[in-house]
Structure 1
Amino acid sequence: MSVSVEQQRTRSLPLSLVIDCWAPPHTESVPDFLTNLRLSDLYNLPGVSVPMNPKIFSAMRAGNIYLLENMKTSVTPMTCLKNDKGDSVLHLAAALGHDELVERIISECPSLLLEQNWKDQIPIHAAAYAGHLDVVKTLVASIAYFSGKILSEEERERFNVYVLKDIDGDTPLHAALKGGHLETALCLVKANHLASFLQNNAGISPLYMAVEAGGLALVKEMLNSLSRNVQGQESNLASRFEGRKSLVHAALKAKNTDILNVILHEDPSLGDEKDEEGRTCLSVGAFVGFREGVCNLLDRSTSSVFECNGDGSFPIHMAVEKGHMDVLVEMIIRCPDLIELLNKQGQNILHIAAKSGGYGHLTIIELMKRLYRENNHLIEEQDEDGNTPLHLATINWRPRMVRDLTKYPSNATRLLKIQNKDGLRALDIAELNLQSNYIFRERMTLMVLLSAYKPKGYDRIPPSGMTLRSRSELADPNKYKDRVNALLVVATLIATITFAAGITLPGGLNSSGKAILATESKYDMFVGFMLFDIIAMVSSIIAIIALLWAQMGDPELVHKAFRLALPSLSMALTSMTLAFQCGVMLTTSGNRFILYFIGMIQIPFFFVFVLVLVPYVGQEYGRQFGRSMDMCLWILLALVTEDDAETYHNSGSCQTRGL
């Protein structure tokens, strides 16, 4: 841990500290380790730095106070020693929390209190960032002791280390808050309050950081010190601290009502500030879903609900975008006309909900049904591109939202016919942009639209969406190849298994070639096994033949082959399962425990089996969805995941052509 000679550099007392007023020194008793020090000792700084050898470095890290005696007699002064980061022995002791060692070093070399490392940090920076409260108190007491001995106002200003900034613009108070040490930060604020309002290079003040961290006691102390400082003057918090003024935004993001009240009580004008993204306080509260904070702001004034953000949206749009229904309701109760607001794209809250998707947004439809029992004009409104909420739900592949919009009373028929500026209905958009690769969410969206439109040419609508075709699939039949091959493998395996089970019967054959278990008492179970095994084999063979036809290359033939293969494969899987259960019960009929166990698991197994398989391969023969198919649709929609919407759309997988 040493540095080269070229890295040695001159160290000097910080000269660029600016302060408005100086805090009086502490009146507490002077610690013993400071009683014999003189003010001149503080300025006894070395001219050069010398690399710290590994032995001394290890001793400082271990808090070894006995090595200090040896260092006194060393040729190299203790104040000159630096590691490869420019840290002095006091930096190391302070950063590692060795309070006794810190006291010993200060009593021997008080000038190290002002010594900077190569990041322009003094020891109190290091102690504050590490959160060593006892060490910080020791350093504060030392600084207060020397401050009391300084007579010159100019020297006092130079000695205010609490406002000293490192290369990142951080004061010791910044360092404590970056480390998340609120008690340490409180100690520094009590020592000197002015640093609370100074910004670092990122434009952030300690006050802003304290609000973000949710430190109520710390925020109160910062603001109380400001109030004491401006007695008799008009207090305006926003004009007295640097950097970001959006303290209310930070309190809302932290979801801390107490801090929010303290800030607004100190300076109500901060409730009108916008953050760096141009968002109002109410918009931030709506965005994070902080209902108590939003109610707090609304109780003070409702005028901000009509204040636009930098992106042209309003607070109600932010609440809808994130699906915070409780916040949305609070806004509508106070200002019912809010639901009519449009963003700069001409979109209302239903447009926003349709784009955002997710379970939370579906309750907005229910809310609209309560507000507009007869006719909801919002559902038919078109934005600047001519898109209705249904268009946007389709563009963003939101099958649940599409289902709820198409089932909306009194508006559904007209909604389905509306065209955007490109002359496209919602169904047209889905058919144009459906990918040839099987994307479950896309197929479900198109299937829901087909169930609503019921267009000609779709007499059979498969709930799985397996055979729904995009324009690219019509031009390229090879897109089905992988799907056909996968189903063909499954069908072949079923045929092989059921064939082998039919030849090698459970229990084997007797000398006359008859099945041993085909006795009178077990005859019904044996017949059941054979029946289900034969059905499974025949169904799988039908599926194999249909899938072989699908490999011929004709797109229309592929489409029809799927319609035959999927139900056949479903029948084969069901029959194979029943045949297995009959075979197990046939061979273990003497064991009641196994029979009871099979009976117990049979019902929930078939429930799950039907729940998963039937909706996937079932078909509706006719133009209308019956109740059974509605149930299948409901099950499949429950399997759709829309939480990854942002990643999904950023990938460019569903860019709408012509929109």
Structure 2
Amino acid sequence: MDDSVYEVAAEGMIEVLKKIPESEFRVQLSPRHNTILHIASEFGQIDSVQWILMLPSCSSLLQCLNLNGDTPLHLAAREGHLEVVEALVCKERELHADIETGVGADKEMLIRMTNKGKNTALHEAVRYGHYEVVMLLIKEDPDFTYGANDSGITPLYMAVEGGFTAAVKLIIEKSSTSPSYNGLMGRTALHAAVICNDIERGDLEIVKLLLEKSEKSVAYLRSKDGKKTALHIASFHHRTEIVEKILSHSPGCREQVDDKGNNIFHFAMMKEGDDDFNPSSYFFNYWLRLRGLINKKNAQGNTPIHLLSLKQILDFEFVRMHMVDKKAYNNEDLTAYDIILRAKEDNSEKKDEIQRLFELAMTEDICSFWEKEIKGRERKKERKEYISQLQKQGETHLIVSAFITTVTFAAGFTLLGGYKEDDGKAILSKKAAFRAFVVTDTIAMVSSLCAVFLHFFMTLHKRGKFLEKHLLWAFIFTRVAMGAMAIAFATGLYAVLPHSSGLSVLTCILCSCFFLSIAVEYCKFWRGTISGMLGKLIAGEAKWGE
């Protein structure tokens, strides 16, 4: 196809189009074998399309295919050009109605034609959300059941997967025949509605539509990947409203399991990271309050409570419920309690909490049960308060450490006595007092910087043992920095003051009083405190492990 002809078709230059011989409309092809009618339809040039459809050869152009197997109707529907789609469909209807001449009567209806991907024009319109085009195509041929394309996807499945509620309603309500529910990997449209569920997008309404308008068996259909039903998927994603809706429609599907023997309760335990959902909420559903369902074993012999321990799900009500068999063994002869004992500790600290729940739930004396529960909550509260106290202390110490770091860093570059003009070295560099000043100032700066570093890491953890250890070491570094800073101050003044003057000696004596105050304070208070903190570090977290 000449570039000039391509531009004429794409831009709708109808006057130039009329000068092209009719024989050229079938011969002129683009690299993808699009005819002039294909291009005009794709670009939505309604005037050009209507003029071409008046040509005697338009019947062959209507059903002409490009390299992808697309008709002009496919391209117009894909781009959402309603007027073009309507013109093409109306012309095709006229040709089929011409019974006497038989023009096009033996050909497949244009609206039902599929491309190489087995997509009809309706597939294309639904995929890209062109509601008015979808409505027109369904109204034009309500008796046709649109099958799946090469990917196994029907227009209904496509509309559900995209959250296109209006199109789902239209396909279900306006089609005179029951629409196909097939989809990708053997899933149904109901599977897609559950997987793509978004309350704000309206997919819950789609689920209701599919259940109300479809056959009863739709809730029992299982996907090819894992033999999962829509109920299993809804349970995995913790879509409680959808679970209730499916059970109210088809309560018998609660008995179904996947290819690994997992039922609705197993799937509820599989998803990690959703702390807002408790599987015990299913106990409020009439169809799920049965021991056989709650204690069902899968292929590994795991009941739902085994998975609760494996995934470390903190659900007190589920563990406490008397209908739950906490002594059930899996294929490895392990109970749920055995699994949580062997589990590795995680950062969320759920392991100890779940272990305590099992121990409380298996206690025979109910009074003892609640007594331990109350004590456990009190210990947890005390622990949180203690950690909060450590964090506040760390914040206060951080200010002191940062101040010392700033002062000593500045003192290192504003040296006493100044610098020599010839070589830039310190004037007092040969004095012993000055050298003592430099060394102690460096010690103070490095020690305080280490304390700041430890305080920074304290913000990343919430474990009591970690905070105690880092706070103690940060405290020690800060005290060393304070002592070194006092010595640096004394030696600095001693270096610049006349040695014959009593002022230099007095300065050193006054600075030494700082160390005297440290000794007094240590004897009165800090000896016991530091010893206690060291004792806690050695003993570990025995207090919290009880």
TM-score normalized with structure 2 length: 0.62
Identical columns (%):
21
Provide Cα deviations, 1:297-354, integer angstroms capped at 9, x if missing partner.
2223433222212231101211221247367513554222233222211112233234
The SS at the match of 1:330 is: helix
CA contact (8 A) 1:354 1:398 kept: no
In the superposition, relative to structure 1, how do residues 249 and 54 fare at CA in structure 2: closer, same or farther (>3 Å)? Answer: same
Pairing partner for 1:352 from 307, 317, 328: 307
Provide Cα deviations, 1:25-83, integer angstroms capped at 9, x if missing partner.
xxxxxxxxxxxxxxxxxxxxxxxxxxx0122223323333232033238xx61221111
Equivalent position amino acid for 1:274 in 2:
R
Distance between the aligned counterparts of 2:182 and 2:101, measured in 1? 28
CA contact (8 A) 1:536 1:571 kept: no
Equivalent in the alignment of 1:248: 190
Equivalent position amino acid for 1:622 in 2:
A
CA contact (8 A) 1:173 1:196 kept: no
Distance between the aligned counterparts of 2:338 and 2:447, measured in 1? 46
Higher relative contact order (CA 8 A, sep 6+): 1
Equivalent in the alignment of 2:123: 174
Whether 1:268 and 2:172 are equivalent positions in the alignment is: no
In the superposition, relative to structure 1, how do residues 576 and 332 fare at CA in structure 2: closer, same or farther (>3 Å)? Answer: farther
CA contact (8 A) 2:441 2:484 kept: no
Equivalent in the alignment of 2:39: 92
Distance between the aligned counterparts of 1:105 and 1:578, measured in 2? 93
In the superposition, relative to structure 1, how do residues 151 and 206 fare at CA in structure 2: closer, same or farther (>3 Å)? Answer: farther
Equivalent in the alignment of 1:341: 296
Pairing partner for 1:504 from 396, 404, 411: 411
CA contact (8 A) 1:307 1:314 kept: yes
Pairing partner for 2:63 from 114, 117, 134: 114
Equivalent position amino acid for 1:307 in 2:
Q
How far 1:208 moved relative to its partner? 2.1
Whether 1:102 and 2:6 are equivalent positions in the alignment is: no
In the superposition, relative to structure 1, how do residues 573 and 340 fare at CA in structure 2: closer, same or farther (>3 Å)? Answer: farther
The SS at the match of 1:79 is: helix
In the superposition, relative to structure 1, how do residues 223 and 352 fare at CA in structure 2: closer, same or farther (>3 Å)? Answer: same
Pairing partner for 1:383 from 306, 310, 330: 330
Equivalent position amino acid for 1:570 in 2:
A
CA contact (8 A) 2:118 2:150 kept: yes
Whether 1:142 and 2:94 are equivalent positions in the alignment is: no
Distance between the aligned counterparts of 1:502 and 1:85, measured in 2? 73
Query: Which consecutive unaligned segments of at least 5 residues does structure 1 have?
Result: 1-51, 230-236, 415-462, 464-493, 512-529, 544-561, 583-616, 631-659
CA contact (8 A) 1:119 1:167 kept: yes
Whether 1:325 and 2:277 are equivalent positions in the alignment is: yes
Equivalent position amino acid for 2:211 in 1:
L
Distance between the aligned counterparts of 2:83 and 2:481, measured in 1? 72
Distance between the aligned counterparts of 2:484 and 2:302, measured in 1? 57
In the superposition, relative to structure 1, how do residues 68 and 167 fare at CA in structure 2: closer, same or farther (>3 Å)? Answer: same
CA contact (8 A) 2:95 2:104 kept: no
In the superposition, relative to structure 1, how do residues 270 and 369 fare at CA in structure 2: closer, same or farther (>3 Å)? Answer: closer
Pairing partner for 1:133 from 75, 79, 82: 82
CA contact (8 A) 1:150 1:156 kept: yes
Distance between the aligned counterparts of 1:124 and 1:330, measured in 2? 50
Pairing partner for 2:474 from 567, 570, 573: 570
Equivalent in the alignment of 1:371: 321
In the superposition, relative to structure 1, how do residues 389 and 241 fare at CA in structure 2: closer, same or farther (>3 Å)? Answer: closer
Equivalent position amino acid for 1:504 in 2:
A
Alignment of 1:207-606 (within 5 A): 207-227=156-176, 237=178, 246-255=188-197, 256-266=203-213, 267-277=215-225, 278-322=227-271, 323=274, 325=277, 329-330=281-282, 333-334=285-286, 335-336=288-289, 337=291, 338-356=293-311, 361-362=313-314, 364=315, 366-371=316-321, 377-378=325-326, 381-389=328-336, 398-399=346-347, 400-408=349-357, 410=359, 501=408, 504=411, 534=444, 537=447, 570-571=474-475
Provide Cα deviations, 1:151-182, integer angstroms capped at 9, x if missing partner.
58995452411221111111111121222323
Larger Rg: 2
Provide Cα deviations, 1:542-564, integer angstroms capped at 9, x if missing partner.
x9xxxxxxxxxxxxxxxxxx9x9
Pairing partner for 2:539 from 622, 630, 634: 622
In the superposition, relative to structure 1, how do residues 226 and 566 fare at CA in structure 2: closer, same or farther (>3 Å)? Answer: closer
In the superposition, relative to structure 1, how do residues 568 and 265 fare at CA in structure 2: closer, same or farther (>3 Å)? Answer: closer
Equivalent position amino acid for 1:249 in 2:
H
Equivalent position amino acid for 2:34 in 1:
D
Provide Cα deviations, 1:196-245, integer angstroms capped at 9, x if missing partner.
43121122221222233344443344334544x5xxxxxxx48x776657
In the superposition, relative to structure 1, how do residues 412 and 225 fare at CA in structure 2: closer, same or farther (>3 Å)? Answer: closer
CA contact (8 A) 1:129 1:179 kept: yes
Equivalent position amino acid for 2:188 in 1:
S
In the superposition, relative to structure 1, how do residues 401 and 196 fare at CA in structure 2: closer, same or farther (>3 Å)? Answer: farther
In the superposition, relative to structure 1, how do residues 207 and 506 fare at CA in structure 2: closer, same or farther (>3 Å)? Answer: closer
CA contact (8 A) 1:355 1:396 kept: no
How far 1:377 moved relative to its partner? 5.0
TM-score normalized with structure 1 length: 0.53
How far 1:504 moved relative to its partner? 3.5
Equivalent position amino acid for 2:192 in 1:
A
In the superposition, relative to structure 1, how do residues 331 and 157 fare at CA in structure 2: closer, same or farther (>3 Å)? Answer: farther
In the superposition, relative to structure 1, how do residues 621 and 141 fare at CA in structure 2: closer, same or farther (>3 Å)? Answer: same
How far 1:135 moved relative to its partner? 1.7
Equivalent position amino acid for 1:96 in 2:
F
CA contact (8 A) 2:188 2:223 kept: yes
Report how many aligned residue pairs link the two structures: 409
Query: Which consecutive unaligned segments of at least 5 residues does structure 2 have?
Result: 198-202, 364-386, 388-400, 419-439, 454-465, 487-533
Equivalent in the alignment of 1:420: none
CA contact (8 A) 2:157 2:181 kept: no
Please provide the CA RMSD for this pair.
4.6
CA contact (8 A) 1:189 1:222 kept: yes
